[in-house]
Structure 1
Amino acid sequence: MIRALRIFAKFERTVLVALVLLFLISATILLRRFYIDSTVLVPDQGGTYIEGSVGELQPLLPWFIITNDVNRDIVSLVFAGLQKYNPETQKIEDDLGVLTVTPDNKVYTVRLRENLFWHDSTQEIPHPVTADDVIFTFRSVQSDEFPNTLLRQNFLGVEIEKVDQRTVKFTLAKPYRFFASNLTLGLIPERSFEGVPVSKFDQVLDFGFEPVGAGPYAFKRLVQTDLSVEITLERFSRPLEPFYHLERIVFRMFPDYNTLLSDIRNLDGVRLVPRNDVGDPIIPSSFRASNYSLPQYVALFFNLDKDILADQKLRLGLQLGTNKQAIVKKMNELIIIDTPLMEINDSDWRYQFDPNLAQGAFFSSDWHLPEKVRLQRLLERWEANKRGPLHTESIVYLDTGASLLITGSFLESQSAYMLNNIPLEQSTQTGSWHIALPTHGGTGSIALGNNLLQLQDKRGNILDSFYLWRTVKAQEYKAASLEQKILHQFIDSRDEKLPENERITVADMYLEKNFLRRRLSTDPTDIRINTQGEKLSLRLLTSNTPPQYKTIAEEVKKQWAELGVHVGIEIPETRSQFEEKLINRDYDVLLFGQSLLDNLDSYPYWHSSGIQQFTGKRSDLRIDAYNLSQYSSFDADSLLETIRETGDAGEQAEALQDLKEVLRQDVPAVFLYSPMYTFAYNTRLNGVRLGKPSLHSDRFLTLHRWYLQEERVFQRGKSWLSLFSWLFSPNALE
């Protein structure tokens, strides 16, 4: 009996333990379901973002970051300007300073925010950002000795004045609506450059490789590894929104993309993904792609200083004969453009590829296909030959030594008329005349090829002329006879004497061995010539980087050959060789790109002030002469100035439309496309939204949205106290 009770007690304990375990498991499941239902995932602070790129580390100084490369990316995080570009709103907004602008767009006053410090500040030794640092940053740029002349151009004629310890005023000589964009330049602490001549600012390597800024991330270390150069940045606490989630940013700079791929497992992002032979981005596995474009365009710039390109109809023909769709398809680009004014860029049928309209433009130019030139000469001779008393065959097959008998109608006087300096023999009975012109080479002889027969009276006055062509070759005579048939068929077609299906145009003709014949589908297009017989040949210059330019140049050469234009492609081996040709405008056509940056200001590129002036001195050539077409237009200059200076949005929009029309009429370039770029990031990285960047580095202007770590927080109005009410809700029973 006692043994049975013990067994029963043991069973009760087992059941009790099982029930307790069941309760705990059920409670845990319920609590987990409640927690999941009542909370949401949000970004958490922390984590290290590691980005790989191909490039070479340069001193990290905002003053000298000219190229759009990884060094600019690092500078954009370490340094901050008075203003910044917002790729989501596409506007210039306040950053370290609050900006006010007078209605006339001439006075820009900036007041620094409170409690701004440089990265090397400590509680014991704080280094606040002051108006003196602002003055130093911008006045240094204005110095004649400043090493970056391109940046100095942005501040010429600007008066910079310190109002108080936190306020600086910029006064412009004339209104400039885009000046706020210049204030995005990263500020630099004055004390770091004490005692350094302005001319040597670009040589301050201690600061350049261990920079101190006031941006959202501070420089921590520089490490050289076997694979890459590694720059580490750490989040810097600032009293500014937005606040950043990522604790560290690591930039790894590799010598080439293959080396980068060998380290891909350790990377969270790849700066610029290259493309394969068909133009598709090479995305690593477990990475997402984010495609974006910049306010850039690639164009074929006509050098209007060249006499050969002074003909507007020729430029129009080249534009209409350029198949942009074929070019972007070959490059796998998506954005075709028709104008450099990217804020109003829209498709315009007047820029579309149309071979027929292109031929029409060429027809009105000084350059024609050899068929047209030949036909025009034949028509002129036919018109001349059908007038006056001289009549004979216009082409003759006549051996040397033979004579050509020519007869004519009655002449008023019966003597002293001569044809080719040989007296006429006249019949007194019929009133007609005849003459035998020799071919032996003496007086009045008919030569091989073209001859102009002239009928003269006794005073030497020319009464009539006749064009005659002679050959001793049967094959030439056959070709010339066929040409005459084509000529008369064209004349009858022009005069609408033939049925429509029998009519021909110059497009149906082909010039072979100096004679016209009917064109075959396999016949190529010959090179155009002018009235002097000069061939239409253009030198097309482009850079060896990016490599796509070579592919585009070859496609343009192929397309323009079909228009009758010979293109010689020139690709200098080095960047310096290319820049030398660029500065000297040593090209007929230039395949190149231009960037409008965040303000979309076209003034530097199309205003006549950007034309390169040649004085004969190499030192006088400007590297900031951005008008690559050497384009000068009073109307365009006036409109560009209005766009820059007006504060009226309506007036600006109207000026942009008018400028678009002026450029369309003048055809200073053929605008092709806006390049596409690809940024790749690991699937473990969240919150990536690039917006519409103006530079590659602008992707970091949305860095505050990126995160690697997450946490759960209760939804609004919920907490652990909400558990009991949740237990009796339908969600708990599901």
Structure 2
Amino acid sequence: MFAGATLLLGWRLYENKTKLIPAAGGSYAEGIVGRPRYVNPLYAPASDVDRDLTELIFSGLMRYGPTGEIEPDLAEKVDIAADGKTYTFTLRTNLVWHDGIKLTADDVIFTIEAIQNPDYDSPLRLNWQGVTAEKVDDRTIRFTLNNPYAPFLENTTVGIAPEHVWGGIDPSSVALAEGMLKPVGAGPYQFARLSKTKDGRIQSYTLRAAPRANDPKTYLNEITIKFFDSELDAIAALNRREVEGLGAISAQNVERLRSRQLATHRLKMPRYFTIFFNQTQSKILADRAVREALARSVDANGIVREVLGGLGETVWGPIPPGLPGAGVDPNRYPYTPEEATKLLDGAGWQDKDGDGTREKTLGPSSQLGTGATASSTPLALTLHVPDNDELRRVAERIGNTWKAIGVQLNIRVLPSFDLQQDVIRPRKYEMVLFGEILGVQPDPFSFWHSSQKKNPGLNLALYDNRAADKLLEEARQTLDGEARRAKYEEFSKLVIEDIPALFLYSPTYLYPVSNRIKGISAQLVTVPSKRFVHVEEWYINTKRVRK
């Protein structure tokens, strides 16, 4: 008994004089939906799967921190000229690629010039228009902008690609290059191996911790990413303990998780879902009274409550709540179906034949809308929706509420790739339910400026307002934060008044991970892949050291 008491006292003294800290070792496996195609920073933004792998394997000059702040990564420091047009980056010393080749300013210049080169067809090209990249020396790069651009540092979080791997490959052939699926980067983890199914589809990627100059040791030895065809398949794998986390889970599927050893991280993201009206494809939608009636007959709060299980917030304008420029009246078009009915009555839409759908004579046109004739046009519209359970439920709920006021909604669900290629790019839709993601320092230019109405622009509402254009142009060049916020508020008011879209909600990003994985610090992420911020600090093992 005395010996036991002595041991207990000794342990307590040891505990008091030591502390637990992370220790190296262990591995983590995560399941995500989809398959990799282009694991390369130039192309990754087109796919969340490619973004995830790129985030782990590559590094940019700068990176996002846990709350969305911009901090150095490959860069040691950045000097910004007073006029906001010149940014000079100094690389850290002794940087190397995962294959041991030295990383220099040449790699940075190559990456940016490749993005700018139309032959590469990078979706990031717009971000780098009007920017000149210049090598000062092996560790110094200078960017000169034609005009000040307030969120420019966010652009520099793009991963840097190795010139010695990609420089000798013709842009027309990069998609077929081995390096696209077996990448060489300079990030916290390096490619180790991949596995394929019997039919040749990629099944998993295994990455191992990469030694990095001037960095503390990365704790987890390995991260394996396993790919699944659907969210339900990924959830089943998690329940079977084949993986320890999921890249994301929709709110309606949280209850399917069986393990009690999971921590579901709730992350904020400047993302929102909207129904974009294409007035050029529908004379019905060209009537503002109809658009307002549609807006007033959708219960966005009900969608958040019943479809998302309360895991989200309503959005009332082109900039989500919490970001500069979102401070406008959230009650401009409250859920008032009785007012929607009055608007449609006043606009001449009546259900004269009692079939539940209103009609109106609009006259001859090739753009009257779904099912229209020159004599009588039914108040019928078609909504294109990505093949996603949550978005399907949202669309069906909206269809039911619109039916109650005499609007017929035809829902067309397409795989995301087909929707983007065949519908969104050529702008062949009356309405489309789609998501937009802004930066922490929002720049809605590509989503709402009239110059972005055609592909590859992202102005899905084909919005065209000269006053709004002017505010967008001025805001992105305004370095003073308060002045920029004021311009975005004025811009938001214009958009809300014009009703080019029906703003719905911003979902909470849910990230379920085994509670044995410690050190996850992400709170505000710009895209799902940013859940891996500071992934080198994730750990399983611990050890004691003296205080």
656-665 or 533-542, which deviates more: 533-542
> 1:244 maps to which residue?
218
- Compute the displacement of 1:105 (Å): 2.2
Whole-Å separation in 2 of the counterparts to 1:26 and 1:572: 69
Return the index of the structure with the highest Cα Rg.
1
Alignment-derived partner of residue 534 in structure 1: 376
Deviation for aligned residue 1:188 = 1.4
| Residue number in structure 2 paired with 1:429 | none
In structure 2, distance between residues paired with 1:56 and 1:512: 50
Aligned to 1:369: 350
Amino acid of the structure 1 residue aligned with 2:349: H
Residues in 1 aligned to 2:480 and 2:531: alpha-carbon distance in whole angstroms:
31
Q: 2:512 aligns with which of 668, 680, 701?
A: 680
Give 1:117-156 correspondences, 5 Å limit: 117-121=96-100, 127-148=101-122, 150-156=123-129
**CA distance in 2 between partners of 1:585 and 1:255 (Å):** 28
Aligned length: 523
Tell me what 1:171 maps to: 144
Q: Distance in 1 between matches of 2:108 and 2:336?
A: 54
Residues 30, 571 of structure 1: alpha-carbon distance in 2 compared, 3 angstrom cutoff: closer
Structure 1 window deviating more from structure 2 (189-198 vs 567-576): it is 567-576
Q: Aligned match of 1:586 in 428, 436, 444?
A: 428
Report matched runs for 1:419-434 at 5 Å.
none
Q: Which runs of 4+ in 1 moved over 6 A?
A: 225-228
Q: What is the CA–CA distance in structure 1 between the aligned matches of 2:380 and 2:11, rounded to whole Å? A: 74
Measured after TM superposition, the shift of residue 101 of structure 1 is 2.0
CA distance in 1, matches of 2:478, 2:54: 33
Q: C-alpha displacement at 1:633, in angstroms?
A: 0.4
Q: Is contact 2:387-2:414 (8 Å) kept?
A: no
What TM-score do the two structures reach when normalised by structure 1? 0.67
Aligned equivalent of 2:370:
none
Task: Please name the residue that 1:629 is paired with.
Answer: 461
TM-score relative to the length of structure 2: 0.88
* Structure 1 partner of 2:74: 96
CA distance in 2, matches of 1:274, 1:647: 37
Conserved 8 A contact 1:528-1:535: yes
Match in the other structure for 1:470: none
1:253 equivalent in structure 2: 227
1:528 is displaced (CA, Å) by: 4.6
Quote the Cα distance in structure 2 between the aligned partners of 1:646 and 1:297: 25
Q: Are residue 27 (structure 1) and residue 6 (structure 2) matched?
A: yes
1:539/1:587 contact within 8 Å kept: no
Question: What displacement does 1:531 show?
Answer: 7.2
Deviation at 1:537, TM superposition (A): 2.2
The reply to whether residue 709 of structure 1 matches residue 541 of structure 2 is yes
Structure 2 counterpart of 1:710, one-letter code: T
- Residue of structure 1 in register with 2:276 after alignment: 301
Which of these residues, 256, 267, 276, is aligned with residue 243 of structure 2? 267
Deviation digits for residues 457-483 of structure 1, max 9, x if unmatched?
A: xxxxxxxxxxxxxxxxxxxxxxxxxxx
Match of residue 404 from structure 2: 562
For residues 544 and 710 of structure 1, do their structure 2 counterparts lie closer, same or farther at Cα, with a shift above 3 Å needed? same
**Equivalent of 1:322, from 283, 295, 298?**
298
Contact persistence 1:337–1:345 (CA under 8 A): no
Q: Residues 240 and 674 (structure 1 numbering): CA distance in 2 closer, same or farther, change over 3 Å?
A: farther
Residue segments in structure 1 that go unaligned for 5+ positions in a row: 1-21, 122-126, 371-510, 514-523, 613-621, 716-734
Q: How far is the alpha carbon of 1:671 from its aligned partner? A: 0.2
Contact 1:68 1:696 in 2 (8 A): no
Matched, 1:105 2:80: no
Q: Which residue of structure 2 aligns with residue 287 of structure 1?
A: 262
* Alpha-carbon distance in structure 2 between the residues aligned to 1:233 and 1:80: 15
By how many angstroms is 1:176 displaced? 1.6
Structure 1 residue 353: Cα displacement = 0.6
Report the 3-state secondary structure (helix = DSSP H, G, I; strand = E; otherwise coil) of the residue aligned with 2:149: coil
- Shift of the 262–190 alpha-carbon distance from structure 1 to 2, 3 Å rule, reads closer
Give, in angstroms, the shift of residue 657 of structure 1: 1.4
| Aligned equivalents of 1:369, 1:241: Cα separation in 2 | 69
* Equivalent residue letter for 2:262: F
Shift of 1:606: 0.6
Distance 1:362 1:574 in 2: 33
CA contact (8 A) 1:294 1:692 kept: yes
1:299 partner SS: strand
Question: Aligned partner of 1:703: which letter?
Answer: V
Separation in 2, partners of 1:233, 1:574: 28
> 8 Å contact 1:288–1:682 — kept in the other structure?
yes
Tell me the CA shift for residue 574 of structure 1: 7.6
Structure 1: distance between partners of 2:248 and 2:148: 38
Task: Tell me what 1:576 maps to.
Answer: 418
Q: Deviations over 1:303-337 (max 9, x none)?
A: 12233222222222221222112323341243111
What amino acid maps onto 1:357 in structure 2? E
- The Cα offsets for residues 249-268 of structure 1, whole Å up to 9 and x where unpaired, read as 22222445437634743433
Aligned partner letter, 2:186: A
Q: CA contact under 8 A between 1:54 and 1:260: conserved in structure 2?
A: no
Matched, 1:340 2:318: yes
Unaligned runs of 5+ in 2: 364-374
User: What are the Cα deviations for residues 522-552 of structure 1, in whole angstroms up to 9, with x where unaligned?
Assistant: xx86515357673342422323421332222
CA contact (8 A) 2:386 2:419 kept: no
**Paired residues of 2:29 and 2:223 also in contact (CA < 8 A):** yes
